[in-house]
Copies of this chain bind each other. A is one copy, B any other.
Amino acid sequence: MFKAIVSAETLRTTLDSVSVLVDECKIHLNEDGLEIRAVDPANVGMVDLGLDADAFESYEADGGLIGVNLSRLEDIAGMANSGDLVHLELDEETRKLHIQIDGLEYTLALIDPDSIRQEPDIPDLDLPARVVVEGADIDRAVRAADMVSDHIALGVADDQFYIDAEGDTDDVHLELDRDDLIDLDAGDAHSLFSLDYLKDMNKAIPKDAEVTLELGEEFPVKLHFDIAEGLGTVTFMLAPRIQSD
């Protein structure tokens, strides 16, 4: 069984964090909250999202698993005004999710979880550098890099976090030192990433979020941030590209 009430805003933030990578996903309806893990078709970007039962107005679940079409669910959540509560209830018989928003009832057909791409195992990497930065700075770097290139290098050197993008004629470079950063555990790190993926992930990162990046030498980057006022967490992991030159 699954029966929950959640604010439209929390629901939308949750869905947006996953839909930047995949169209469909499995949602684990655990006793203590939701859990979603997904990887994009090319196996390059992963997301691991947890939303605590306390992030809901009310929450009851006993460990079920459902498959959902994310854009469909986002459209429904988009019908709610901010401040509206969204009532969710699973009909185990029909495998439909009943969604109710201020009198409006939407019956959503679920997807067989077995037909959805397998959930990834997010590797537990021990990465040498750790940077805590504002979401707005990631946004700025990604938009600037996008003007010149389709890949972007992230690195840590000399007590600085830097971002580099090299185009055919023009280059973009951003350096953030300890004063510009919320926190920094320095360590050698430099990896190149596909800008398309980072742009998608950036869409899901609130501009005012504290984003923790874990970085290494030619290693994946992990980006963590909180949602739902700290009652939910999102981790993106992005595989590096082979250095071009």
Residues of A in contact with B (beta carbons under 8 Å apart):
72, 75-76, 79, 103-109, 140-141, 143-144, 147-148, 169-176, 180
Contact = CB atoms under 8 A, between A and B. Distances in A.
Report the copy number of this chain in the oligomer: 3
A140 B103 CA distance: 10
A147 B103 contact: no
Contacts of A109: 169-170
A108 B167 CA distance: 10
A82 to B, nearest CB: 15
Contacts of A176: 103
5 contacts: A104-B141, A104-B173, A105-B174, A107-B171, A107-B173
Nearest to A111: B169
Given A106-B148, A109-B169, 17 more contacts: A72-B147, A72-B170, A76-B144, A79-B144, A79-B147, A103-B180, A104-B140, A104-B173, A104-B174, A105-B173, A105-B174, A106-B144, A106-B170, A106-B172, A107-B170, A107-B172, A109-B170
B174 A103 contact: yes
Given A79-B140, A79-B143, A79-B144, A105 B180 contact: no
A221 B176 CA distance: 50
A76 B140 contact: no
Contacts of A173: 104-107
Contacts of A171: 105-107
A160 to B, nearest CB: 10
B104 A147 contact: no
A76 B140 CA distance: 11
A89 to B, nearest CB: 14
A103 B160 CA distance: 12
Contacts of A79: 140, 143-144, 147
B103 A172 contact: no
A104 B170 contact: no
A120 to B, nearest CB: 27
Given A147-B75, A147-B76, A172 B104 contact: yes
A105 B72 contact: no
Contacts of A172: 104-107
A161 to B, nearest CB: 11
A109 B167 CA distance: 10
